[in-house]
Amino acid sequence: MEAASGPKPAARRPKRGELLEVEIESLAFGGRGVARTEGLVVFVAGALPGDRVRAEVTKAKKRFAEARAVELLTPSPDRVADVCVHGGEPCPGAPWQGLAYERQLEHKSDQVGEALRRIGELEGFELEEIVPAAEQWRYRNKLEYSFGEDGDQPTLGFHARGRWDLIVDVDDCHLASAAGNKARDAVRDWAQLGSIRAYDGRAHKGTLRNLVVREGRRTGQIQTRLVTTPSRFPKPPVDLHTTIEGDSGGTDGPTGVLGEERLREELCGLKLEMSHGAFFQTNTEMAERLYGVVAEFAGLSGSERVFDLYCGIGTIGLTLAAQAGEVWGLEIVPEAIADAERNAERNGIENAHFLAANARTGVRPLLVQAGKADVVVIDPPRAGLSQKIVRRLLECEAKKIVYVSCNPTTLAPNAAQLVEAGYRLSRVRPVDMFPQTPHIECVALFEKVAA
């Protein structure tokens, strides 16, 4: 008779800085490779399924560890050559570029389905085929660069992977267009010619912080915004100048206009203008396809009242206006609402109305003013919807809710709440807005179940 097996030995907890040799089995949501060694799950940044890597432990917990790949021992058979490389290292903005594009799409689609089933505990929905990107490279209409220094010369590029204190100078970023790269280089040339120092957060001195480059893909306009400390220096070749005091790592602050104040773009046949701080999808071409999915799921016949919550500059609502009876947009940022109203007027759209209000407190006044909604479109930030906002959403009593999500792990609990409240999750379609990255966008359709 075999002896009963005893309890499994506890996983050995590695120490921070320890080097492990591991084989990557899969990808976790967020893009890190997943490996298992000595009973421990290890999440490895910079590694892909099928890779065998030497990884340095950065954090050790009781049940898992986090690490970063420091050496590729055996590459995955699915690996392809890196296209975007800066300073000998893969571009930090394209962490999945070593993975064949077809495999990227498979992983993204699988992660959407897994989140809804595992986190939301949902079944019975149709997970539709992912919409691939129109362009795998040079698709971003906005890039944010940081200033650093190489000796006495200012550099302009990205933070090295896993480093907040090292900036890798960028020559040709394949996420940006040729025009966007040229605009960045012009600002770096100006900074080097004037020997203007980058801001050093440790020493609390210096001037140059960031450069934001935005592009109207359909108009050809390039808009640049320089972010500095309050300092005196020669006039920079930019459209906007933002000053920030202290050690804030952000780019928002008082902004002066030196050139073009607003960015012009064309989308779904609309002519749009936007303030520098307004949200706009970073991939113009795929935004059109995303909004096409929204329109398809909404299934408007021409008479419906549509609420567009988190409406930003009004892009989704304005693209739906021709198919709706009326559109009401809600957005907390007053400048974005001003943009939305201007965009409605610019395009001759008279059945779209916009209100500056928080979704948590603004829905009830909107219901009083406009009445119940037939269709609600929501496009919340990555954190998804709070329970209180879900309750306000339910008060709209819409027949359909079209949820645009940039994070399936927050979509999933919201979906479970809506299903529990009497909606059916019928369709989900992922859309690849950000090739070469783990970011996933999807559109989910909820339909009210008849009583």
Euclidean distance between CA atoms 338 and 330, whole angstroms: 12
Best CA proximity match to 310, nearest among 402, 184, 244: 402
Strand ordering across the sheet containing 352-356: 126-127, 423-431, 441-448, 400-405, 375-378, 305-309, 326-331, 352-356
- Partners of 82 in the β-ladder: none
Burial degree of 135 (CB within 10 A; 0-12, 13-18, 19+): exposed
Helix, strand, or coil (residue 190): helix
Retrieve residue 151's tokens.
Answer: 């000796």
The three-state DSSP-derived secondary structure of 234-265 is CCCCCCEEEECCCCCCCCCCCEEECCCCCEEE
Q: What is the CA radius of gyration of the chain?
A: 24
Neighbours of 299 (CB within 10 A): 14
User: Which amino acid, 353?
Assistant: H
Q: Report H helices in 22-155.
A: 101-114
For helices 408-420 and 387-395, the axis angle rounded to 10 degrees is 50
Asked if 239 contacts 281 with a C-beta cutoff of 8 angstroms, the reply is no
Neighbours of 37 (CB within 10 A): 16
The secondary structure of the chain in percent helix, strand, coil, rounded to multiples of 5, reads 25, 30, 45
Euclidean distance between CA atoms 192 and 7, whole angstroms: 64
What size, in residues, is the chain? 451
Euclidean distance between CA atoms 291 and 324, whole angstroms: 15
| Cα angle for residues 50, 52, 53 (degrees, 5° grid) | 130
- Is 442 noted as a catalytic residue in this protein? no
Euclidean distance between CA atoms 70 and 401, whole angstroms: 45
Among the options 84, 311, 406, 442, which is catalytic?
A: 406
Best CA proximity match to 42, nearest among 28, 51, 77, 29: 28
Residues forming the active site:
406
